[in-house]
Amino acid sequence: MLKPYPKVASVIDVTLPPYSAKGDGVTDNTTALQSAFNENVGRHKILYFPPGTYLISATLTWPKRWKDHENWGFTTLQGADEKTTTIRLKDGVFRDPASPQTILNCGGFGSADWFHNHVRNLTFHTGAGNPGAVALQFYANNYGAVRDCRFISGDGQGLVGLGLAHRDMNGPLLVKNVEVQGFRIGVRTGNAVNSQTFENLTLTGQSEKGLQNEGQAITIRGLKSDSAATAVSSYGTLTLIDATLTGRGAASQLPALVNFNGGRIFLRDVTATGYKRLIGDVATPDYAAALRLPAEPQTKLLEYCSHAPTSPFPSPKTSLRLPVKETPEVPWDDPKTWATVDSFGADPTAERDSSSAIQKAIDSGATTVFFPGFYRVTSTVIVRGKVRRLLGVGAHVDYTQQAKPTFRVTNGSAPIVIFEHFASLGSAVELATKRTVVFKSLEVKTVTSKSVGDVFFEDVTTNALHFRNQRVWARQLNVENEGTHLINDGGSLWILGYKTERGGTLIETKNGGKTEVLGGFSYTTTAGKLAPMFVNTNASVYAFFGEVCYSGDPYATLIQETRGTQTKQIKRGQGTTLPYSSRAVESLTD
């Protein structure tokens, strides 16, 4: 269980005045909670729910406007723990499935500019007698996440657990450590942009579909499904790895996964039991036979791609299977031990320079350094000593990018350093350490590296990344840039859900590097003809990846690869791109 945050203006305890919500499971909190949302969403704040059951009787919304300004996101709902903190719908109020209603609608409008929204450590319970209920309609752009949440239909008859299809342009976003119990549909996604990434998703007891994807670019790792329904129904682009799909009852006459209209799919290490077969397609009754897939009730599929990989040179057709490491965690310290930067003289309004005050907080001996506001930084802050977590509330540090870099991570006694929950981290973070560094739920313009330590990105947006001889793991990585987005120079790079924007080379891999991209797409908005999408120079790459372009200028060159002194290209329309597979280098030193 997460302990309460320190008492600061940017963390709103909904049980305290002026809102005074009551988590007693009896009091109707609709008015109190809506008032809290009306006055605080879009303002880089955390709305904190202590343990309890918060009963409501109507939809809660994140409004489009707060006071006289547009709401551009930057809102976090934080429970104490998903096992102890519940927002519960009163029984028998959302009765009509033809007119769905939600417990919480997280907004969105006709622009992909609702940044950095988060819902975490909460249970949403739709009660009983609510067949028209959707537990959560979530919307975020560039970076945003639903983490450590449960969605429960009390009688199993709710409509949708987690809704991600109610607006177009939803994403990129991350859903991690989420469980959906009951409902007709566990998770619903849709529309063509901007990609959604799932990790550790558990679906149980759905009556129609576990996850229904209606055109989105979806990437899933670690799916567990157990129901009488088809586990995944998809058209669009689907990446599914490390999945266990268990069918019950009527599932024995169904496929575990339905791929509509020849959509692109990549499957790896997928096990299905209790189903008629693993894959089906509504347009091809003998789909499994045509793919030469086994049709017995128990099926384990090691790897399958619906479209044969393309390479300029002869290469194996399977993925690299790079080693996958989980994103490291560090203990959540008692807030009484945190070094709050304001206590050391930092200015949370960003009017005065806070560089020296932040440095004092880091050097105080605390293991968690807390940033409850906005901070101006004019000189580089050194992350050293015992610090293992730098934690924000979703606000900016060095927004004007005066310090170059804003932070430099050097060696210290803590083996792992986590930057977590910032709207932005200034101009750059420079890595000059052997320590593992984690970036989680934030924006950073760039990361420059003079390190050998491991690096992790999770729910991160950036302009450019360049790594040399390092091991990097990324989940839901969004890189938006006009030039080269990401360089892997001799290292190992694994990405689960990679979304890019604008033009320029998306990944350059060279000098024996290994790069594996599992899911995602390029939202090509400018200069598609000016650079190859992927550049590979004497390295190894596997990419299951797509492209959406509304400007009429998509990438003309998809792959440029050099082996030795010979360079070849794959142009648009050649082969079955993407995916892309190449094995110029067969080994990489760990």
Asked if residue 506 is part of any domain, the answer here is yes
Task: Give me the DSSP letters along 282-346.
Answer: TTBTTHHHHTT---SSSEEEEEEESS--B-SS---SS-------PPP------GGG-EEGGGGT-
Whether 164 shows a pLDDT value over 70: the answer reads: yes
Q: Residue 18 in 3-state DSSP?
A: coil
Which among 262, 261, 176, 202 is positioned nearest to 441, based on CA atoms? Answer: 176
| 3-state SS track over 29-74 | CHHHHHHHHHHHCCCCEEEEECCEEEEECCCEECCCEECCEECCEC
Cβ 81 vs Cβ 116: under 8 Å: no
The total of structural domains in the chain comes to 3
Cβ 342 vs Cβ 372: under 8 Å: yes
In Å, how far from its chain's centre is CA 150? Answer: 17
Q: Are residues 222 and 132 in the same domain?
A: yes
d(CA 380, CA 74): 25
Nearest 5°: the CA angle 241, 247, 252 is 125
Tokens 């990434």 sit on residue: 197
Please, which residues have CB within 8 angstroms of residue 129's CB and are 6 or more apart in sequence?
A: 91, 92, 95, 155, 157
- Rg (Cα) of the chain, in Å, rounded? 24
Give strand pairing partners of 455: 437, 472
Task: Look at residue 96 in the predicted model and tell me its pLDDT.
Answer: 95
pLDDT band (50, 70, 90) for residue 588: very low
Of 194, 227, 260, the residue that ends a domain is: 227
d(CA 112, CA 170): 7
Which range has the worst mean pLDDT, 66-75, 469-478, 532-541?
Answer: 66-75
Q: Are residues 478 and 560 in the same domain?
A: yes
pLDDT band (50, 70, 90) for residue 585: very low
pLDDT band (50, 70, 90) for residue 114: confident
Task: Look at residue 525 in the predicted model and tell me its pLDDT.
Answer: 86
Which range has the worst mean pLDDT, 277-286, 354-363, 472-481?
Answer: 277-286
Whether 290 shows a pLDDT value over 80: the answer reads: no
Asked if residue 119 is part of any domain, the answer here is yes
Q: Residue 11 in 3-state DSSP?
A: strand
Asked if residue 253 is part of any domain, the answer here is no
Q: Are residues 199 and 102 in the same domain?
A: yes
Mean per-residue pLDDT, 467-481: 96
Asked if residue 183 is part of any domain, the answer here is yes
353 backbone dihedrals φ, ψ, rounded to 5°:
-70, 130
d(CA 516, CA 135): 35
Asked if residue 372 is part of any domain, the answer here is yes
Q: Are residues 164 and 192 in the same domain?
A: yes
Residue-range definition of the domain harbouring residue 488 = 462-585
265 backbone dihedrals φ, ψ, rounded to 5°:
-135, 145
Q: Are residues 370 and 433 in the same domain?
A: yes
Whether 236 shows a pLDDT value over 60: the answer reads: yes
Condensed to tens digits (0 to 9), the pLDDT of residues 12-24 reads 999 999 999 999 9
> What b-and-e string marks burial along 286-295, b requiring 16 or more CB atoms within 10 Å of the CB?
ebbeebeeeb
Of 453, 487, 516, the residue that ends a domain is: 453
Q: Are residues 223 and 96 in the same domain?
A: yes
Amino acid at 483: G
Task: Look at residue 577 in the predicted model and tell me its pLDDT.
Answer: 53
pLDDT band (50, 70, 90) for residue 286: very low
Cβ 244 vs Cβ 269: under 8 Å: no
Asked if residue 328 is part of any domain, the answer here is no
Share of the chain above pLDDT 70, in %: 92
Asked if residue 479 is part of any domain, the answer here is yes
The helix or strand, by DSSP H or E, that contains position 10, with its residue range, turns out to be none
Mean per-residue pLDDT, 467-489: 95
Please, which residues have CB within 8 angstroms of residue 588's CB and are 6 or more apart in sequence?
A: 491, 492, 512, 513, 514, 540
Task: Look at residue 285 in the predicted model and tell me its pLDDT.
Answer: 46
Share of the chain above pLDDT 90, in %: 75
pLDDT band (50, 70, 90) for residue 201: very high
Task: Look at residue 279 in the predicted model and tell me its pLDDT.
Answer: 86
Which range has the worst mean pLDDT, 30-44, 55-69, 291-305?
Answer: 291-305
CA distances, 107 to each of 41, 104, 236, 330, 357 (Å): 10, 9, 24, 32, 37
Task: Give me the DSSP letters along 156-180.
Answer: S--SEEEEE-SSTT--SEEEEEEEE
Query: Is residue 587 exposed (0-12), middle (13-18) or buried (19+ Cβ within 10 Å)?
Result: exposed
Task: Look at residue 230 in the predicted model and tell me its pLDDT.
Answer: 95
Of 227, 248, 268, the residue that ends a domain is: 227
Condensed to tens digits (0 to 9), the pLDDT of residues 551-569 reads 888 888 999 999 999 999 9
Whether 375 shows a pLDDT value over 60: the answer reads: yes
Q: Which pTM value belongs to this model?
A: 0.94
d(CA 68, CA 89): 31
pLDDT band (50, 70, 90) for residue 110: low
pLDDT band (50, 70, 90) for residue 162: very high
- 10 Å Cβ neighbour count for 385? 17
Task: Look at residue 292 in the predicted model and tell me its pLDDT.
Answer: 46
Which among 398, 408, 412 is positioned nearest to 367, based on CA atoms? Answer: 412
Task: Look at residue 578 in the predicted model and tell me its pLDDT.
Answer: 56
Cβ 171 vs Cβ 141: under 8 Å: yes
327 vs 41 pLDDT, higher one: 327
Q: Are residues 467 and 578 in the same domain?
A: yes
Q: Are residues 520 and 412 in the same domain?
A: no
Condensed to tens digits (0 to 9), the pLDDT of residues 133-152 reads 999 999 999 999 999 999 99
Mean per-residue pLDDT, 306-320: 89
> In the predicted model, what is the mean pLDDT of the chain?
91
Q: Are residues 525 and 415 in the same domain?
A: no
d(CA 396, CA 409): 19
Task: Look at residue 107 in the predicted model and tell me its pLDDT.
Answer: 81
Mean per-residue pLDDT, 330-338: 94
Whether 1 shows a pLDDT value over 70: the answer reads: no
Which among 408, 401, 469 is positioned nearest to 437, based on CA atoms? Answer: 408
Cβ 533 vs Cβ 549: under 8 Å: no
Task: Look at residue 482 in the predicted model and tell me its pLDDT.
Answer: 85
Whether 213 shows a pLDDT value over 80: the answer reads: yes
Asked if residue 277 is part of any domain, the answer here is no
Task: Give me the DSSP letters along 430-482.
Answer: EE-SSSEEEEEEEEEEEEEE---S-EEEEEEEEEEEEEES-EEEEEEEEEE-S
373 vs 192 pLDDT, higher one: 373
Please, which residues have CB within 8 angstroms of residue 68's CB and are 6 or more apart in sequence?
A: none
Cβ 298 vs Cβ 282: under 8 Å: no
Q: Are residues 507 and 416 in the same domain?
A: no
Q: Are residues 470 and 449 in the same domain?
A: no
Whether 590 shows a pLDDT value over 50: the answer reads: no
Cβ 572 vs Cβ 554: under 8 Å: yes
Condensed to tens digits (0 to 9), the pLDDT of residues 499-530 reads 999 889 999 999 999 999 999 989 988 866 67
Task: Look at residue 280 in the predicted model and tell me its pLDDT.
Answer: 79
pLDDT band (50, 70, 90) for residue 124: very high
Mean per-residue pLDDT, 311-338: 94
The tokens for 61 are 């919304």
Q: Are residues 470 and 413 in the same domain?
A: no
